[in-house]
Amino acid sequence: MNAISLAKTAYAAPGQSTRTLRGTEYDLFARTTHGLKAAQAMGAEGFAALARAIYENRRLWTTLAVDVADPGNSLPADLRARLFYLAEFTNAHSRKVLSGKASADVLIDINTSVMRGLRREGGGE
């Protein structure tokens, strides 16, 4: 695909609303959480899928941790600290899931709670 066809595709649906940052964050959490749920539902046969889902979840939380650690981040300091702690917890719990010592339920619950917060603060996007 060249630049012209990409540009045409970008403007092909002018009726679509522009996605907000909060909406994009929600979608990332939703996709990642869906991946965790689907992989966990496969049971032992789905370990490779679970490992991929854990990797994607860790990537999401690492990106979030870097963002909230930035002094220029405009979120309240208390919220930034809580999100950073959740990123650390998620990383530690992910190791337990991959070693078979825990389930991904807690990771799914954390992501779902964050999604609820994004939905509530976003005014129902």
Work out the end-to-end distance of the chain between its first and last CA atoms, rounded to an integer number of angstroms.
31
Helices (H), the chain: 3-10, 21-41, 47-69, 77-98, 105-121
> What is the pLDDT at residue 34?
97
Residue 7 has pLDDT above 80, yes or no: no
pLDDT at 67: 95
Confidence category of residue 120, pLDDT binned at 50, 70, 90:
confident
**What pLDDT shows up at residue 121?**
65
pLDDT at 124 (0 to 100): 45
Q: What is the pTM of this model?
A: 0.79
- Please tell me the distance from the alpha carbon of residue 30 to that of residue 115, in angstroms, as a whole number: 7
pLDDT higher than threshold 60 for residue 113 = yes
Classified as helix, coil or strand, 103 is coil
